[in-house]
Amino acid sequence: MVACRPPPGTESASLGTRLRAVGSERRHFGTSYAAIVTDLRLHDDGATRDAPLARPLSDFLPIGRHHARGLYVHVPFCFHKCHYCDFYSFVDREARSGEFLARLIADVDWTLDRVAGEIDTVFIGGGTPTLLTAEELTVLAAQIRRFPLARDVEWTVEANPETIDAEKARVLVDSGVNRMSIGAQSFDPRHLKTLERWHDPANVSRAVDALRGAGLTNFNLDLIFGIPGQSLADWQSDLSRALALGPEHLSCYGLTYEANTAMTKRLELGQFEPCDEGEEAEMYEATVEMLAAAGFAQYEISNYAKPGRACRHNLVYWRSEPWWAIGPSASGFIAGHRFKVVPRLGDWLARETRHSQSVVDHEAPDEGRHVSEALMLGLRLLEGIDAALEAHAVRLVPTRAQVFAKAIADGFLERDQHTSRLRLTRRGTLLANEVLAQLV
């Protein structure tokens, strides 16, 4: 599989167990954090049987305040579960949104007591955050503004095009949101149907118009290629229609078949054939060429931006910088600790303590794992990794020197002659997962 989706704040902690990059644009590495290993079976109320043992995050984090560049908030509500999606979402907003916001406020209170310095990026993902009403979005945004936000903070909200209207657009922009990420996925109704993605392609344009009418000048479109039945011409048409809307950023992901999703089950049942890998590679090459011609720089395997419009929040993930996480299933990285918040809404609402976030997955600081993650994530960026990280990685695992040398000889990696940074070649990006897996 070529270009995969990038990291969100919704992945669990262990990078070593599962090599994807998270949703939409905020989330998912083509090599990503592991999913929770326990089989979670929903009760009718969204709670779980056999859930992993939850513990207070305060049991793990060092006492005191901690610096972090980012804040990720997960809103789990959706009006429909898309068949390819493995992010935690819950199809029932009206019954639970009030409880959700009340609990979120408690977690904001706890987190604020531990924040040091300014927050540079905010990403509200899901689920579908814009499924909340305008009034609920106002409450949510007010909680975000309680954080010490940098003057030039990048504040992104993820949206389904069916859920954006003039009122919500105005509320979001007036609240301080300055970037939107819209899940277009495809402009072809046939391919949206394959994905079980419920929106009218025409509403992507309407959502963009509503946001621009409210004064927003920075938005991303998510697109998926490699959909069963999709041709190269179909994909080029999707790219052309996306470019016609004038986005500042595009995230273009190769379809991945995640475990425990309806899409993977349909594949296993033989209901469709996956896209041919050769044709998928042609789609990826066409993406790079078409977007470059349109003035977009590829800065990560799946992400392209106009000058100065790279997603700063995603860069926090790719550069292994710390971020706070709030909301069911959200993952964070603070003071070297990776953690995942309780992953089901019912469990998240029902937990007894309001004096700490509850987590079900935690990894303490570990130098070897941190360096492995920094290699895996940093090499997904087209800027690559610096010589200091490369040398440190080799000191920890001397055999990596031979792996680097072979990857360079095979044409998968190259060294920048001016900066000495090590980066993937164009050929290397096509086989990134295979190349990067050798470095773990």
- Asked if residues 126 and 82 have their Cβ atoms less than 8 Å apart, the reply is no
Contacts of 335 (CB under 8 A, 6+ apart): 61, 62, 66, 322, 365
Instruction: Identify the bridge partners of residue 117 per DSSP, sorted by sequence position.
Output: none
Spatial separation of the C-alpha atoms in residues 217 and 248, rounded to whole Å? 8
Reading phi first (left if > 0) and then psi (alpha if -120 to 50, else beta), residue 75 is in beta
Q: Of all residues in the chain, what percent carry a pLDDT higher than 90?
A: 67
Query: Among 236, 239, 224, which Cα is nearest to 192's?
Result: 224
pLDDT of residue 94: 56
The per-residue pLDDT string of the chain (440 residues; one tens digit each, 9 = 90 and over) reads 343 333 444 333 333 322 233 333 333 323 232 222 222 222 233 444 445 578 899 999 999 999 999 999 999 987 654 443 444 444 554 568 999 999 999 999 999 999 999 999 999 998 899 999 999 999 999 999 999 999 999 999 999 999 999 999 999 999 999 999 999 999 999 889 888 877 788 999 999 999 999 999 999 999 999 999 999 999 999 999 999 999 999 999 998 777 767 777 877 787 777 788 899 999 999 999 999 999 999 999 999 999 999 999 999 999 999 999 999 999 999 999 999 999 888 888 887 656 688 898 899 999 999 999 999 999 999 999 999 999 999 999 999 999 999 999 999 999 999 999 999 999 999 988 888 888 87
pLDDT of residue 15: 33
In tens, the pLDDT along 345-375 reads 888 888 765 668 889 889 999 999 999 999 9
CB-based burial label for 417 (10 Å; 0-12, 13-18, 19+)? exposed
Query: Among 426, 424, 405, which Cα is nearest to 416's?
Result: 424
In tens, the pLDDT along 282-307 reads 999 999 999 999 999 999 999 999 99
pLDDT of residue 353: 57
DSSP string, 159-207: E-GGG--HHHHHHHHHHT--EEEEEEE-S-HHHHHHHT----THHHHHH
pLDDT of residue 1: 37
pLDDT of residue 92: 55
Give the pairing of strands 249-254 and 179-185: unpaired
pLDDT of residue 193: 87
Q: Which domains does the chain have, with CATH numbers?
A: 41-323 (3.80.30.20), 367-440 (1.10.10.920)
pLDDT of residue 127: 86
Query: Among 227, 208, 91, which Cα is nearest to 159's?
Result: 208
Spatial separation of the C-alpha atoms in residues 9 and 52, rounded to whole Å? 19
Torsional sign, CA 73, 23, 236, 378: positive
Cα distances (Å, whole numbers) of residue 57 to 129, 135, 338, 373, 421: 25, 30, 10, 22, 36
